[in-house]
Amino acid sequence: MNNKAIGVFDSGVGGLTVVRALLETLPNEEIVYFGDTARVPYGTKSPSSILQFADENTKFLISKNVKLIVVACNTATAIALPKLQADYKVPVIGVIEPGADKAAASTINKKIGVIGTVRTVKSGAYSTAIEKIDPSISVFSTPCPLFVPLIEENWVDHEVTSIVIREYLDSLIGEGIDTLVLGCTHYPLISEAIRKCYPGIKIVDSAVSTALMVKKLLDKNDINRVAELTFSDRISIYLSDFSETFQELGERILKQKIIDNLHKVDVQDIS
């Protein structure tokens, strides 16, 4: 038994898709979320900056006395996860391995597409993870740098977003993929728009797979929380910059009012 919270961080609002999966999969657990909205997006930053941000975010969550940390950012997972796992005693879980497992299990024709930020795609992390599971799978990747800004502006249902989706993904579809990995936790917010453009494609969102991995770790180490909490007591959301768009998107993702759960943190205080 361990009634400490689970820490989660992301560059912005997208990591709340992982939080939603955690809340649904682990109904007794408390979540402390940090969204680094002052420095979003991470996907175009240098590896050294991403390492710095990930380290600062981890230290911030540890200051909140969490029992484990989920890196709910594909870019930070790809670049910083091994170092975080080596540097900190608290367990640290990323989102790439669970997503790769799910994709490998989903494909029938062994052709998988991966979309993500420039930095995630450049890292080759998904290709490496999927090929370790099944070397016969072909992985086709493309960066989609405009998706995060469009989502952060809440243009998830906008005509422009559909145009950008086709611009980025037509080439992947042309490779004959039957499965598409959303290699950024922001991207599930436009999954319906992607489905409308390409109805036959299986879409893999790593959030649920990540939540199941967290559950296994809690069960294995017997550190589950036993006390039930109300929603308002279950989640605290810290942001390095506040915007009404974050609140609107956050409530859309979590299907709850979150204004009373939001807290502003000066990014200088964690750097």
CA–CA–CA angle 246, 234, 38 (5° rounding)? 30
Q: What is the DSSP letter of 4?
A: P
H helix or E strand, kind and range, residue 237: strand 235-239
Catalytic residue among 32, 61, 73, 114: 73
Half-sphere exposure of 254 (CA within 13 A, CB side): 27
- Residue 189 in 3-state DSSP? helix
Q: At 222, which helix (H) or strand (E)?
A: none
Q: Say if CB 128 and CB 107 are below 8 A apart.
A: no
Q: Which of 156, 184, 190, 214 is catalytic?
A: 184
Q: Residue 41, preceding bond cis, omega within 30 degrees?
A: yes
Active site residue 197: no
> Is there a contact between 235 and 42 (Cβ–Cβ < 8 Å)?
no
Instruction: Retrieve residue 147's tokens.
Output: 């998706």
Distance of CA 125 to the CA centre of its chain: 14
8 CB neighbour count, 10 Å cutoff: 30
Residue 241, strand partner residues: none
Q: Which residues are marked as active site?
A: 73, 184
